[in-house]
Structure 1
Amino acid sequence: MPIQWFPGHMHQARLEMQAILPKVDLVIEVLDARIPYSSENPLLAELRGDKPCLKVLAKSDLADEAMTETWLSHFEQTVGVRAHAVTTDDVPTIRKLKQIAIRMLPHRRGQKINAMIVGIPNVGKSTIINFLAGRKIAKTGNTPAVTKHQQRVTIGDGFALLDTPGMLWPNVHNVNSGFRLALLGSVKETAMDYAEVGFFAAGFLGAHYPDRLAERYNLESIPTTELEIIEAIGRKRGCLGKMNLVDIDRASRILVTEVRSGGLGLLTLETPETMEEEKVKTAAAIAAKAEATKAKDAQRKKRFRDKQRAQRKSREME
């Protein structure tokens, strides 16, 4: 299920971000601690170049604590990058982000600092801005794309934040990343299929957190396929239709909703190691698709040339 959700305001946000970056001292990228890789925007890495970057792993209260520490160490292996985990209700920790950012710019000590804060939709960026500012500045909501336009927010000590709309990239080539983004609510419902996302969640949880599934849905054993897991959940939750058949969509929605809310406990859906493996596979898939497109174009051109030669030969014989 390749995700292709790039509303017009996101395209405009990319252009505005590209234009303003030369005037920015530091980038603060807000990530979802449950999917630090999949919520990391590759367009930002391309645009920011060597500017210092503070990666904030939000919603860490919903993620596996040990894996969050692993991801923090992983990000800080990159030169110019610091990483810090926060929760949406830990105001003191969030307010420390300003001082962390200031320390990353010792050459700007005593001068005004402009930081751009970015993040995918529904990652909690606006909540962080409001806590840093000490007042409600940015709109918050549990749906993607609440922020539509850039705005400048002064948060004291000569420190200003440039808030940008939550931005996905035009195509999420890594299919698993697309599913993870949809599963955690970063993609609007109109751009996803609940059954497909539910199957992905069932497969992942069955493989990595079977005990959570068994406990949450009172299952004596975990079925072996995604469909069977969804059906088992549906029967336990009364998602039955005609002829006592499970309503797959309803059962999938229950699973997706409870993963998002933390109903299945603290979950991290990816590790640095699995992401490296997926990057290799994704690159190979992109290359294979490009090669197939190239071959298809060559065949189309050959058919066109053959048709032209046949038409010329027909005219010569007249």
Structure 2
Amino acid sequence: MRLRFILSEIGIGLRRNLSMTISVVLVTFVSLTFVGAAGLLQLQIGKMKDQWYDRVEVSIFLCPATSSAPTCAGGVVTDAQLADIRAALDAPEVAPAIEEVFYETQEQAFASFQDQFQDQFWASVVTVDDMNSSLRIKLTDPTRYDVVADVVAGRPGVETVENQRELFDQVFLVLNRATLLAAGLAAVMLLAAVLLITTTIRLSALSRRRETGIMRLVGASTLFIQLPFMLEGAIAATVGAVLAVAGLWFGVDVVVQDWLGASLTWIPYVSSREVWTVAPLLVVVAILLAGISSVVTLSRYTKV
């Protein structure tokens, strides 16, 4: 009997404030979509770091004949200079940080260049002498780039030292800033959702003030009086959370996996599994929104 009465009161409240309820659903949907997007972006960054950082290489570009760098004043790197660089890499304080060293000749670099840019008209004017021979170093720990760079940078025969991780970090910086933007928008929208849920509950409570007064007179408990209003907000917020999960699933499955995945196959993308990982968090946030709004509102507007 009590359950039937509570369900009846919930139905009445939702019908009386239908437009406000729809607004709560939509605002909750948008705000939790931003929350979910921020979470998925962080999971995406984690997947990319796990895969890319393991492949990070340090590239020591050796002097070609045409370089104007001060360390290349003697022209193309000599065998003696190359031997000195290799000896520095074999030093006891450096060797433990190095997993593998691969030497790429100018001819190999030129062949790779031609394969990559053979369709470009300007590639035909580049010669073997313009290319850098290089030492490609795979590190045991990608964070120890400085150990290698410090001992070879500035040595005769070394034009530049480049760390691939720096390129990756720039990508991750952009993604992290996108996460902060999504989180900022989510915070604003969550505040709007709280205010809207509070307003909806207040209007519902005011429209049924007479009924709640009668219930108080016949001895109904505070929880029994307030429960229908709390459930109204919780239902609207939960529907918004379900829509947010559906929207995120559609975005990941169709936009990320099918569209981006078909064109950029070298990136490890988040999948629907990550969406289901984030989904419980969104539902919990939705329930907390409704709970906070209910506590703030009902203590005042259901007093008789």
TM-score (norm 1): 0.21
TM-score (norm 2): 0.22
Using CA pairs under 8 Å that are at least 6 residues apart, name the structure with larger relative contact order, 1 or 2: 2
Q: Higher Cα Rg: structure 1 or 2?
A: 2
